[in-house]
């Protein structure tokens, strides 16, 4: 990797090469218990849990998992919003050497069924108000035990009754009664035992997380991220984010933990530097997010562009002091320049854009904190990460700077492969290089920019949407003959979902009815915001629908509308 152009533009505090101290993820928590015992580890609804307390809860949970028969390699699904119990469950699983499958709580039954069956999950940790989703698929998934958490249990005893009363009156309710059963266990009861457990003997090559790239059969794949992958990425982030002071930071945890970005930065990175994790369960509740930032003096804010925009435009934001924020990390979608500028005016913070993939644990690129930040750029490869841009149709030929090609990545954070999909693994991991499917350009300074996707994935509000999945659901409707879904630029969400539909002869259905159909079968963020009916869809000579042509048509119409 000598002579890479980006090395010359690193901050002076950042070294191109690192001497990694690869270790099991549970070890980071153990070190936090020793170094920052009385330091806040979790802040939730005004309640603070110290690192010593978190460690005790994790060990008790780990002991409970062992009692249920969980051993090294057992797969455990965690399906809940951002809650303290999610952090405890994650590290409890790491403590006993289990593998975690982070599951989106918004997923429908068909999405859950695929993920848990594909990964052979034996235990699921969920919440009482999501239990009905688990119950609905129990007879079709390999789950042996269900552990049920409740939001009020994360609060002091004197707040639990009023909290339960309040949460029961939410729409939808955020507490629920769960029927007693021998294979259903209360999270609080497990933690209350105060038991301890020995840490499992885990190697860097052992899988820690099976992180799914999407949510449907034939599209979604489980990326196997090892302890070594994630540990290396933690240390790469620690080297790059040199403004972070161990034991002194408060990091906002509004990014969903079930997403690899939130899991990596809000949980694993935070614990590795002894930071306080200030939890926000609902990232769309901007008022709550701002309140947590102001009250707890959040210093580091990882977010997606839609979250920065929501804070910028929130009523009364100019009268709220959020100047404690000193550093921000933005990913998952391009960050508009005016959004970044406005947020920096409000806080005085530095925002850096970065890039990552599920398959890379996830961070591979960042703009520098102190050096030059280029508009529209994802920055440069982080320490000990190598990249190439190769011909779209010739992956053996590296293109010149400024030319478009496919982005290839090599580094210690690159996954071990896709679970149970040897062909898919062999297709994307070749000679040590991850073929990302993303189209990119590198300039003369070694800064990269993403210019398109070979895979046509849509990123809306930081969530991944696979067009083929939406198309399949639309075409399950008996009135739909063909469907083609695309992503269109959206100032707030990064991209928005639009579908083009051709109806079967003699059949009728409204866009409202099709959207309702999708809502029953897809997570809300995957449902098309707009549906356009057409007589036909553009096709290639091989009869493949030309998705890019539809997108180009929409972009042309949008440009003409702006000019008009």
At 266 the pLDDT is: 97
Q: Where in the chain is the domain with CATH 2.30.38.10?
A: 380-453
Q: How do residues 456-477 score in pLDDT, each as one tens digit?
A: 778 898 887 878 789 889 999 9
State the average pLDDT over residues 250-261.
95
Coil, strand or helix: which one is 504? Answer: coil
Q: Where in the chain is the domain with CATH 3.30.300.30?
A: 458-563
Q: Where in the chain is the domain with CATH 3.40.50.980?
A: 48-203
Is residue 210's pLDDT more than 80?
Answer: yes
H or E stretch including 234? helix 227-240
Is residue 218's pLDDT more than 60?
Answer: no
Q: Which two tokens stand for residue 127?
A: 């919440």
DSSP labels for 144-197? -EEEEE-GGGGS-HHHHHHHHHHHHTSSS-S-------TTEEEHHHHHHT----
At 219 the pLDDT is: 61
User: Which bin fits 5, alpha (ψ -120 to 50), beta or left (φ > 0)?
Assistant: alpha
At 406 the pLDDT is: 93
At 458 the pLDDT is: 87
Q: How do residues 352-363 score in pLDDT, each as one tens digit?
A: 999 999 999 999
State the average pLDDT over residues 227-243.
97
State the average pLDDT over residues 394-402.
93
Q: Which two tokens stand for residue 247?
A: 């034991």
Rounded to whole angstroms, the Cα distance separating 360 from 213 reads: 11
Q: How do residues 310-320 score in pLDDT, each as one tens digit?
A: 999 999 999 99
Is residue 83's pLDDT more than 50?
Answer: yes
At 477 the pLDDT is: 95
At 563 the pLDDT is: 67
**Number of Cβ within a 10 Å radius of residue 348:** 12
Rounded to whole angstroms, the Cα distance separating 140 from 233 reads: 36
DSSP type of residue 200: P
Q: How do residues 2-16 score in pLDDT, each as one tens digit?
A: 679 999 999 999 999
Fold of the domain built from segment(s) 380-453: Luciferase; domain 3 (2.30.38)
**What percent of the chain has pLDDT above 90?**
83
Query: Helices 286-296 and 305-312 meet at what angle, rounded to 10?
Result: 80
Mean pLDDT score of the chain: 93
Q: How confident is the model at residue 564 (pLDDT cuts 50, 70, 90)?
A: low
Q: How do residues 488-547 score in pLDDT, each as one tens digit?
A: 999 889 999 999 999 999 999 999 999 999 999 999 999 999 999 999 999 754 456 788
Query: Quick check: 80 and 191 in contact, CB under 8 A?
Result: no
At 491 the pLDDT is: 87
**What percent of the chain has pLDDT above 70?**
96
CATH class of 48-203: alpha beta
Q: How confident is the model at residue 416 (pLDDT cuts 50, 70, 90)?
A: very high
Is residue 138's pLDDT more than 80?
Answer: yes
Alpha helices in 328-431 (DSSP H): 337-347, 422-428
Fold of the domain built from segment(s) 458-563: GMP Synthetase; Chain A, domain 3 (3.30.300)
Q: How do residues 155-203 score in pLDDT, each as one tens digit?
A: 999 999 999 999 999 999 999 999 999 999 999 999 999 999 999 999 9
**β-pairing, 222-226 with 207-212?**
antiparallel
User: Which bin fits 430, alpha (ψ -120 to 50), beta or left (φ > 0)?
Assistant: beta
Starting at the edge strand found earlier in the chain, the sheet holding 530-533 runs: 480-490, 494-503, 530-533
Q: How do residues 348-393 score in pLDDT, each as one tens digit?
A: 999 999 999 999 999 999 999 999 999 889 999 999 999 999 998 7
At 392 the pLDDT is: 81
Cα 139 to chain centroid, rounded:
28
Residues ≥6 apart with Cβ < 8 Å to 334: 305, 353, 376, 450, 494
Is residue 216's pLDDT more than 50?
Answer: no
Rounded to whole angstroms, the Cα distance separating 151 from 413 reads: 34
At 465 the pLDDT is: 84
Query: Quick check: 255 and 304 in contact, CB under 8 A?
Result: yes
| 332, 336, 338, 343: CA torsion to nearest 10 | 0
Is residue 558's pLDDT more than 90?
Answer: no
At 242 the pLDDT is: 95
């Amino acid at each position: 990797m000598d002579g890479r152009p980006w090395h010359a533009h690193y901050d002076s505090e950042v070294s191109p090469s690192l001497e990694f101290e690869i270790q099991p993820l549970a070890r980071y928590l153990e070190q936090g218990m020793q170094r920052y015992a009385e330091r806040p580890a979790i802040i939730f609804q005004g309640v603070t849990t110290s690192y010593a307390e978190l460690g005790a809860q994790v060990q008790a949970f780990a002991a409970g998992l062992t009692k249920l028969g969980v051993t090294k390699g057992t797969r455990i699904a965690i399906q809940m919003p951002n809650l303290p119990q999610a952090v405890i469950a994650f590290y409890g699983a790491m403590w006993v050497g289990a593998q975690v499958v982070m599951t989106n709580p918004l997923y429908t039954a068909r999405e859950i069924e695929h993920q848990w069956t594909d990964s052979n999950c034996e235990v699921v940790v969920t919440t009482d108000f999501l239990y009905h989703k688990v119950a609905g698929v129990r007879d079709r998934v390999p789950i042996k035990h269900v552990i049920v958490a409740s939001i009020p249990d994360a609060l002091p005893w004197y707040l639990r009754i009023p909290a339960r009363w309040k949460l029961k009156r939410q729409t939808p309710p955020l507490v629920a009664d769960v029927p007693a059963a021998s294979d259903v266990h209360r999270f609080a009861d497990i933690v209350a035992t105060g038991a301890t457990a020995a840490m499992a003997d885990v190697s860097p090559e052992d899988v820690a997380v099976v992180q799914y790239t999407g949510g449907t059969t034939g599209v979604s794949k489980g990326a196997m991220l090892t302890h070594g992958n994630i540990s290396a990425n933690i240390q790469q982030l620690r080297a790059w984010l040199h403004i972070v002071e161990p034991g002194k930071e408060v990091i906002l945890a509004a990014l969903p933990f079930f997403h690899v970005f939130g899991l990596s930065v809000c949980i694993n990175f935070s614990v590795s530097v002894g930071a306080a994790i200030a939890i926000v369960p609902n990232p769309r509740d901007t008022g709550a997010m701002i309140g947590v930032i102001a009250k707890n003096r959040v210093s580091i804010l990882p977010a997606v562009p839609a979250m920065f925009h929501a804070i910028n435009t929130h009523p009364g934001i100019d009268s709220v002091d959020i100047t404690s924020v000193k550093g921000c990390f933005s990913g998952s979608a391009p960050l508009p320049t005016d959004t970044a500028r406005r947020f920096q005016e409000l806080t005085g913070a530095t925002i850096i854009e970065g890039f990552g993939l599920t398959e890379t644990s996830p961070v591979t690129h960042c703009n520098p904190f102190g050096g030059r930040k280029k508009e529209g750029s994802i920055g440069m490869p982080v320490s000990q990460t190598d990249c190439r841009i190769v011909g779209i149709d010739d992956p053996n030929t590296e293109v010149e700077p400024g030319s478009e090609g496919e982005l290839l990545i090599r580094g210690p954070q690159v996954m071990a492969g896709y679970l149970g999909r040897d062909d898919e693994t062999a297709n994307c991991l070749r000679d040590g290089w991850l073929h990302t499917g993303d189209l990119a350009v590198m300039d003369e300074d070694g800064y990269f920019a993403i210019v398109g996707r070979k895979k046509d994935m849509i990123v809306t509000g930081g969530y991944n949407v696979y067009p083929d999945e939406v198309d399949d659901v639309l075409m399950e409707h008996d009135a739909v003959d063909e469907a083609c879904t695309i992503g269109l630029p959206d100032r707030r969400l990064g991209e928005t979902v639009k579908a083009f539909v051709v109806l079967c002869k003699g059949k009728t259905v409204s866009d409202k009815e099709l959207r309702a159909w999708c809502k029953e079968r897809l997570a809300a963020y995957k449902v098309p915001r707009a549906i356009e009916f057409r007589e036909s869809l553009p096709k290639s000579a091989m009869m493949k629908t030309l998705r890019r042509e539809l997108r180009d048509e929409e972009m042309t119409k949008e440009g003409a509308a702006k000019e008009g």
